[in-house]
Amino acid sequence: MKYLVMVQGSQADYEAMSGKPSADGPAWSEKELQAMFAYMGEINNDLAESGELIDAQGLTEPAQTRFVSRDKDGRPVITDGPYGETKEVLAGYWLLECESLERVTEIALRVSACPGPAGLVEPPVVIRPVGDASGGEC
pLDDT tens digits, residue range 15-53?
999 999 988 789 999 999 999 999 999 999 999 999 999
- The mean pLDDT value of the chain amounts to 89
State residue 34's pLDDT score. Answer: 96
> Which residue(s) pair with 125 in the sheet?
7
pTM value > 0.85: no
pLDDT in tens, 76-97: 999 887 665 567 788 999 999 9
- Cα gap 6→123, rounded to integer Å: 10
Cis status of the peptide bond prior to 82, with omega within 30 of 0: yes
What kind and span of H or E run contains 3?
A: strand 2-9
Residues contacting 14, CB < 8 A, separation 6+: 61, 62, 63, 91
Most confident of 11-15, 105-109, 132-136: 105-109
DSSP line for 45-95: HHHHHHT-EEEEEE---GGG-EEEEE-TTS-EEEEES--TT---EEEEEEE
Taking the C-alpha atoms of residue 126 and residue 124, their distance in angstroms, rounded to an integer, is: 6
3-state secondary structure (DSSP) of residue 24: coil
Q: What angle in degrees, to the nearest 10, is found between the helix axes of 101-112 and 30-50?
A: 160
